[in-house]
Amino acid sequence: MDSFGACAVKRGVTKLRNKHYYDQFSATYEEHRGEGYHAFIDDLTSELVSRYVPQSAHLLEAGCGTGLVLRRLQERAAQAVGIDLSMGMLRKAQSKRLDVVCGSVTDLPFPDACFDVVCSFKVLAHVEPIEQALREMSRVLRPGGYLLTEFYNTWSLRYLIKRLKRPTRISGGISDDAVFTRYDSLSQIRSYFPADIQLETVHGLRVLTPFSATHSWPIFGPALQTAERKAAVLPGVRRFGGFLLTVGRKIG
């Protein structure tokens, strides 16, 4: 087997591991996600993305999970479709009456140039062939449309804490170190995009939050959320977000 074939086999194994991980995670994924830190991050993500979603837009969320963000974006777009590798996650999304299909972000089952907005949150960090995924997302995006993608940031308080803490158990005997995860600097992120995507700006999420539990603290929690909303768009500060939301536009 040549190096190309070996690489393809490795990526296939990684995809299967990711699928198994999220199928397992789906059983407990939504526990406490309607409150505190997780609800705030989903709300802030939706607020930032909605700036780039016209009411006439046809939107795709690549890696929609159980549909927590897709459900919010559905209220903004004319049509919102989700795709995910995990049937466990999709069953939860289907229970919310969302339009979802099973598939991979590296091989999207849609024709060229059929969406006005393509977005992905907390997914691409777990996709090893990242350039392939971004090419596919660009392929299904119409010229002039927005590509909104989220990455895990090496230059962040979240990354430092992740490096220091023990793995978090997500279901049964599986912990969060069982899934492939990549952290990137902003310069690395820029290098992943195809030539037909022009990056316009970046927003930072979880710039100031040390631990998710702090959002549940009286007085401090609401104050922290106010500060996080400001930090998400503040030049110089936003690039230190634990999550970097890049805003790109398809040219040509």
Provide the number of structural domains found in the chain: 1
- CA dist., res. 91 & res. 77, Å (int): 22
What's the CATH code of the domain at 54? 3.40.50.150
pTM: 0.89
Instruction: Work out the average pLDDT over 218-237.
Output: 97
C-beta of residue 81 within 8 angstroms of C-beta of residue 140: no
Q: What is the pLDDT of residue 19?
A: 77
For residue 35, is it within any domain? yes
The range of the structural domain enclosing residue 222 comes to 9-250
As a whole number, the mean pLDDT across the chain is: 90
For residue 173, is it within any domain? yes
> Which residue from 168, 169, 164, 237 is spatially nearest to 206, judged by alpha carbons?
237
For residue 241, is it within any domain? yes
Q: What is the pLDDT of residue 25?
A: 78
Q: How many CB atoms lie within 10 A of CB 46?
A: 19
Per-residue buried b or exposed e for 95-127, using 16+ beta carbons within 10 Å of the residue's own CB: eeebebeeebbbebebeeebbbbbbbbbbbbbb
C-beta of residue 103 within 8 angstroms of C-beta of residue 109: yes
For residue 1, is it within any domain? no
Name the pLDDT band for 37 (thresholds 50, 70, 90): very high
DSSP β-ladder status, 58-62 and 115-120: parallel
Q: Is 45 exposed, middle or buried (0-12, 13-18, 19+ CB in 10 A)?
A: buried
Name the pLDDT band for 173 (thresholds 50, 70, 90): low
The tens digit of pLDDT for each residue in 43-93 reads 999 999 999 999 999 999 999 999 999 999 999 999 999 999 999 999 999
Q: What is the pLDDT of residue 27?
A: 81
Q: What is the pLDDT of residue 6?
A: 38
For residue 191, is it within any domain? yes
DSSP 240: G
